[in-house]
Structure 1
Amino acid sequence: MSDLTQLLRRDLPASIVVFLIAIPLSLGIAAASGAPLLAGLVAAVVGGIVAGALGGAPLQVSGPAAGLTVIVAGAVAEFGFAGTAAIVAVAGVVQILLGVSRLGRAALALSPAVVHGMLAGIGLVIALSQVHVLLGGAPQSNAWDNLRELPAQIADHHGLSALLGLLTVGILVLWPRYVKVSVLPAALVAVAGVTALAWVLGADVARVELPDRPLEELITPVWPDAPLHRIAVAVFTIALVASVESLLSAVAVDRMHDGPRARLDRELVGQGAANTVSGLLGGLPVTGVIVRSSTNVTAGARTRASAILHGVWIAVFVLLCASLLETIPMAVLAAVLVVVGLRLVSLAQLKTYARHRELPTYLVTALGVVAIDLLTGVALGMITAAVMILWRLTRCEIHTVQRAPGEWLVRISGTLAFIESVRLTKEFGAIPAGGEVDVELHLDYLDHGAFETIKTWEEMYQKSGGQVRIHEVHDSWFHRATSGRLGGGRSTPRLVGSWSRWQSIDHQRRDAMAIGIAEFERNLAPMVRPHLAELARDGQRPEQLFITCADSRLVPNLITASGPGDLFCVRNVGNLVPPHTSAAAQRPIGSSLAPPGMGDASVGAAIEYAVDVLGVTTITVCGHSGCGAIRALQSGAAVAGSSLGDWLALSGVRFSDVADEERCCTDNVVQQLANLRTYPVVQAAEAAGRLRLTGMYFDIAEARMYEVDPILAIHRPLNTPVA
């Protein structure tokens, strides 16, 4: 599709849909901010054209945002709107500097619970103020006064203005539920429909007022006559809140489409440029806004042309059709803002943060914004987030159960620090002397103080005639502390380390598997159960037959980063593929292959099942360093007539250099690939182009995979390691 065709078919229609939504929202946000209504339209035009052209998120739409309403209202009350415009322009410069300094992603370090709590608080403040306008009254100076006066406002006599506002709310709420037409957004239908009704009824209500000559009535910014520190606070507040809101919106929009990803530093520069221009032209601050952006994506936009064009349409409409905007009742705009404000309090987010145990941070921030002010609310939210992090870092669960008379199990999980020593001592002290105690550790971290508490109790309990067994089922913190290595080096991840690395088992090794199975069923099974259930229902469809050695150091799923259903594995001593029986029967007596007619039905059955039934597309033979089977063949240690000797005789391998162990391993891989091709099912699948054979060599010490060249019998790096 050509650029022009895409513009006409995708971006142009999307820009019109966004333009229709942006008009009422821009007017409403300006009214709620205490700014001239024209300022909201100026910000919408500049946000669309400037941020749309220069920003790093092509499908994001920018303009005046409800999230800045409270901040702007406070600035207008303190500095006047001309002073606020100057502050907006300087805030834009700050954003440009942040973007040039490549600090875009740093803004995302703020806890999402704080950001969404801030927006929820702002939404409540907006709704509490605008509901008074909707009901025909006037908003108070702060949220508490608005809340206190609300019962009286509701009980007061209401005229036609309030009915128009309530009708608008009804349309905004019900329209999206029953009408799924993207070109008719709820805000447009509500504002246009109720405005038309008011015109038909000849309602005498307060309406939008715009200058007759918009270009001549643009407000010139004036530097505020106020202390510099107050101005600086306002500048940085607008810059930071606008930046965070824009970047969060850009990240959210990225998840909605498959186009180019957002470049956050460039987006900050674009937003800063838009704010500077908007401030100089007497407009409100600009941010990327998720409602208009998501509408843009849903409407089919493909490039930044849609965002730019929506700004152009607003400018044209204001210049040529301002009289139409002046027919909109103010109660209708207030109704739009009430719904927008309440939607900033998302029930889905409340559930999410409750599930992740971050609800206190969200609520403290929101209530702080409502009860005090925005900066204090955000500060309280950040303090709460820090306290929650510290609480999690020191949180530990200790459960003691009696499994049988005289037998006890103490399970400790989480982060075990010295501040839990008193609790540990209390739990251990409740266990009767002379018993058998298993202490099961599922620890993310163990500090020295907590280690000393456990160790001291263990020694004292054993001196009193009891037995203590300590098992580590998550990591090896206690074991490393016992050997004087607590905090030294890196711990082995549980899924990678062997039993000996993650369990401190100093009694019977037979317990290792039982503890490992219990660890799987407790921690891993819940994660893999849905995938395994799907495989159980639909059957297996592996992509590869993976033939490798039975060596315990070689873990196929680990070294290939594969999971259930990916590999169909055959493991044996030496990763051998005995030739097909018909091929073996043709070998002369005394050759290095097996006697006539002798093969291996097990490997042959696996090959035939994998190719004919499962339809694998690749067969891989993987050898490895330090292979005992190859060493036995090199040294001639495999005794003829023994099971091991007879098995290794099936390899058919002849070494090019017996003294070079690595070369012998790759010689063996090449020979097994040749043996594979003696199977009719392999021959047919290769000839049809639906099967590929590959050889690999895994160096255990390097933890690195190599590809084996079947012609030269040499191995070369399969992948370049990441530094």
Structure 2
Amino acid sequence: MPVFKLLRHDFPASIVVFLIAIPLSLGIAAASGAPLLAGLVAAVVGGIVAGALSGAPLQVSGPAAGLTVIVAGTIVEFGFAGTAAIVAVAGLMQILLGITRLGRAALALSPAVVHGMLAGIGLVIALSQIHVVLGGAPQSSAWANLRDLPGQIVGHHGVSVMLGTLTIALMLIWPRLVKTTLLPAALIAVVAATVVAAALGADVERVDLPAEPLSELTLARWPDAPLREITVAVITIALVASVESLLSAVAVDRMHDGPRANLNRELIAQGTANAVSGTLGGLPVTGVIVRSSTNVAAGARTRASAILHGVWIAGFVLVCAAWLEMIPMAALAAVLVLVGLRLVSLAQIRTYARHRELPIYLITAVGVTATDLLTGVGLGMATAVLFMLWRLARCEIWTTQPASGTWLVSITGTLAFIASERLTRRLAALPPAQYVELELHLDYLDHGAYETIRDWQESYTRAGGQVHISEINDSWFHRAASDGLGIGKRIPRLLGSWSRWQGADRDRQDAMTVGIQEFERSVAPLVRPELADLAHTGQAPDQLFITCADSRLVPNLITGSGPGDLFCVRNIGNIVPPKGAPDTSVSAAIEYAINVLGITTITVCGHSGCSAVRALTSGALAADSALGRWLAQSGVHFQDPADEEACCIANVTQQLANLRTHPAVSAAVAAGRLNLTGMYFDLAQARMYAVDPDLRLHHPIST
């Protein structure tokens, strides 16, 4: 680790994180009902142990508000020493999850459930700590805190409410007045409230730490409780701490350009920190987004910042504990009120409303607030599953009548048997004896829905109507008609010929019109931005692609190219007449490509089953015909006319030789500005081969 980077970036960043971690760690411990020292122990262990082992170097770990409700309930049930033991075992479970490479599996939980859970926890924290701000004591449940809040508000509050109000006001106003991260709002607010309390000589409850912290640690002790209840507590803390840490690591990754997080290693680091923290009598440790984002914003570059912040906390507790004991508890409670409310993110609510997942978020949040964490998360997960099933089984049906008189029925999404009743109703509403185009944009079609369409098609046709079924994304219906539903490969419409996707009964003269309509409806919206840009900037292709006019050969398809990539010349037999030949159209295209477009490669591409090559080898064409005179310009001579593939390759080789007779080509090749290549496309195999013009051999482009 370069000393310069440490001194310039990580050292000052660690000071900033240390300053914000002190009040948050004390406040979280107080809100959890744990000894205040437990919050500081977790902050030290999270900084040093998790920081040293972390798979996300810029993430800062410590006690987290998201676990406050869980820890509070665990302390009530098992006592703090028992809770510390549960935290240690939860850490071992996290290590096991990391070793078995299940780090990313924790991210499979719906984000709406996770953020709803945090929002519910935030509301529980805020409702309990507002009572402390008002000079009272929190109740045992969110409902009880909400019920007693009006009476607490109208009661006598003394100096506590003033100190709490001052703390909240400064936390809200300070970031608007001072933009530097070196003076965190939480630190300034707590220091100001402490100074005011000291100046007034206020008789308020303050932070109480042991005189000898190291000798007063509450070490872990196995709780005297049923194993089933202990196991539930271990799993709950391990899973919630893991999910919160991994989500924080992913979020931190988006804030910087350094190395990406190794989530399995991060899980092992968090587990090790929890095992140590629990053993020493500390709170659970997680990656914390507030401290981590502050760390990144303060300019941290390596894990040294997180480690040093833990060192500073340890030193401060051992040397300056008396300063901490001056802090009013009302000020720490006020910090927690804002921290809790900020877990309810309006930006996330808007996002989930836009993505139609707000009910999942709200049900989870309300469930956690009104009942308990496990019940709330369970309700949220059940809601998420129901939404997923609803979306999987959902389809959209549109019916329109174009000016031509043809009825168009378009079905999009997943068409399953549960939609059969709605589909039957919509199809029955069509007027009889009409021409109906049934257009399927389906991700899936089950057999029940297939039978619904088939039965309607048969009855509608018997009544004098006509039905044509076309499929856009896949061939579910046609595979079902062939008793192959659920098997087969996807054949996108744009890769098939008109006859395949329009149907054999389609009027061939109308095929191009239908194809153009399909392009303008389905493809044009996708390519319009790129074509508009090309229309503005002009063409600048790198390739001149000379190939046969055979209708089975589609240059952009077989080369995977798009608009603006290929400057194409197509003719019968992919022929390049040599210099001085009667036909100059190909010569003009070559000169334009080299001198005007500045292309760097000319490719001559032949193909299997070429009718022009067959005509040349058979000699059946009349010399005085236009086709005969054109093919005569090829200049190709065949060693073995019976070997059709060798003849096609020989034709490519000869056309490359003809290219070199053109002055523009020879000059560009000599100057190193132009490459000439030959290719051969096997239609049956749908595979491209490179042609060696010297040996007249070919080899696959891809292996």
2:243 aligned residue? 244
Distance 2:184 2:633 in 1: 74
Q: Deviations over 1:105-131 (max 9, x none)?
A: 222222222112211211221222222
Is the Cα–Cα contact under 8 Å of residues 541 and 567 in structure 2 kept in the other structure? no
Following superposition of structure 1 onto structure 2, how do residues 396-545 of structure 1 map, counting pairs within 5 Å?
396-403=395-402, 407-494=406-493, 496-504=495-503, 506-510=505-509, 512-536=511-535, 542=541, 544-545=543-544
Say whether 1:231 aligns with 2:230. Answer: yes
Q: Deviations over 1:513-561 (max 9, x none)?
A: 5555555544555555555555555555555555555544444554555
Paired residue type of 1:584: K
After superposition, the Cα gap between the structure-2 partners of 1:233 and 1:656, relative to the gap in structure 1 and judged at 3 Å, is farther
After superposition, the Cα gap between the structure-2 partners of 1:394 and 1:685, relative to the gap in structure 1 and judged at 3 Å, is same
Say whether 1:584 aligns with 2:579. Answer: yes
Paired residue secondary structure (2:430): coil
Say whether 1:602 aligns with 2:563. Answer: no
Q: Does 528-537 or 471-480 show the bigger shift?
A: 528-537
Give the count of matched residue pairs.
703
Distance 1:653 1:32 in 2: 90
Q: Does 194-203 or 444-453 show the bigger shift?
A: 194-203
Paired residue secondary structure (2:126): helix
How far did 1:310 drift? 2.1
Say whether 1:220 aligns with 2:202. Answer: no
Distance 2:247 2:207 in 1: 32
1:270 aligned residue? 269
Distance 2:308 2:645 in 1: 65
Say whether 1:387 aligns with 2:382. Answer: no
How far did 1:701 drift? 4.4
After superposition, the Cα gap between the structure-2 partners of 1:511 and 1:617, relative to the gap in structure 1 and judged at 3 Å, is same
Say whether 1:162 aligns with 2:149. Answer: no
After superposition, the Cα gap between the structure-2 partners of 1:717 and 1:463, relative to the gap in structure 1 and judged at 3 Å, is closer
Q: Deviations over 1:441-471 (max 9, x none)?
A: 2222111111111111111122122222222
Paired residue secondary structure (1:444): strand
Say whether 1:257 aligns with 2:256. Answer: yes
2:288 aligned residue? 289
Paired residue secondary structure (1:410): strand
How far did 1:75 drift? 0.6
Is the Cα–Cα contact under 8 Å of residues 573 and 629 in structure 1 kept in the other structure? no
Distance 1:182 1:356 in 2: 34
How far did 1:166 drift? 2.7
Paired residue type of 1:131: I
1:94 aligned residue? 93
1:83 aligned residue? 82
How far did 1:281 drift? 0.8
How far did 1:29 drift? 1.6
1:195 aligned residue? 194
Paired residue secondary structure (1:584): coil
Distance 1:553 1:41 in 2: 74
Say whether 1:32 aligns with 2:43. Answer: no
Distance 2:529 2:204 in 1: 60
How far did 1:83 drift? 0.7
Paired residue secondary structure (2:579): helix
Q: Does 296-305 or 69-78 show the bigger shift?
A: 296-305
How far did 1:135 drift? 2.6
Q: Does 91-100 or 147-156 show the bigger shift?
A: 147-156
1:151 aligned residue? 150
How far did 1:321 drift? 2.3
Paired residue type of 1:373: D
Distance 1:148 1:182 in 2: 39
TM-score by length of 2: 0.90
Say whether 1:298 aligns with 2:297. Answer: yes
Gaps of 5+ in 1: 586-593
Is the Cα–Cα contact under 8 Å of residues 577 and 676 in structure 1 kept in the other structure? no
Following superposition of structure 1 onto structure 2, how do residues 116-155 of structure 1 map, counting pairs within 5 Å?
116-155=115-154
Q: Does 493-502 or 110-119 show the bigger shift?
A: 493-502
Q: Deviations over 1:288-310 (max 9, x none)?
A: 22222223233333322222222
1:588 aligned residue? none
Is the Cα–Cα contact under 8 Å of residues 256 and 297 in structure 1 kept in the other structure? yes
Paired residue secondary structure (2:278): helix
Paired residue type of 2:113: V
Distance 1:564 1:120 in 2: 49
How far did 1:407 drift? 4.9
Paired residue secondary structure (1:469): strand
Paired residue secondary structure (1:600): helix
Distance 1:84 1:654 in 2: 90
After superposition, the Cα gap between the structure-2 partners of 1:405 and 1:488, relative to the gap in structure 1 and judged at 3 Å, is closer
1:109 aligned residue? 108
How far did 1:433 drift? 2.4
Is the Cα–Cα contact under 8 Å of residues 407 and 436 in structure 2 kept in the other structure? yes
Q: Does 568-577 or 225-234 show the bigger shift?
A: 568-577
How far did 1:419 drift? 1.7
Distance 1:678 1:300 in 2: 64
Q: Deviations over 1:318-369 (max 9, x none)?
A: 2222223223322222222222222222222222222222222222111111
1:591 aligned residue? none
Is the Cα–Cα contact under 8 Å of residues 473 and 491 in structure 2 kept in the other structure? no
Paired residue type of 2:218: I
How far did 1:498 drift? 4.4
Q: Does 599-608 or 367-376 show the bigger shift?
A: 599-608
1:572 aligned residue? 570
Distance 2:202 2:697 in 1: 90
How far did 1:425 drift? 2.0
Q: Does 272-281 or 495-504 show the bigger shift?
A: 495-504
1:351 aligned residue? 350
Paired residue type of 1:601: A
Distance 1:617 1:182 in 2: 54
Distance 1:584 1:635 in 2: 26
Paired residue type of 1:125: V
Distance 1:389 1:380 in 2: 14
After superposition, the Cα gap between the structure-2 partners of 1:520 and 1:402, relative to the gap in structure 1 and judged at 3 Å, is closer
How far did 1:278 drift? 0.8
Q: Does 600-609 or 53-62 show the bigger shift?
A: 600-609
After superposition, the Cα gap between the structure-2 partners of 1:430 and 1:300, relative to the gap in structure 1 and judged at 3 Å, is same
Paired residue type of 1:189: I
After superposition, the Cα gap between the structure-2 partners of 1:384 and 1:690, relative to the gap in structure 1 and judged at 3 Å, is farther
How far did 1:86 drift? 0.3
Is the Cα–Cα contact under 8 Å of residues 440 and 472 in structure 2 kept in the other structure? yes
Aligned residues: CA RMSD: 3.2
Distance 1:162 1:685 in 2: 85
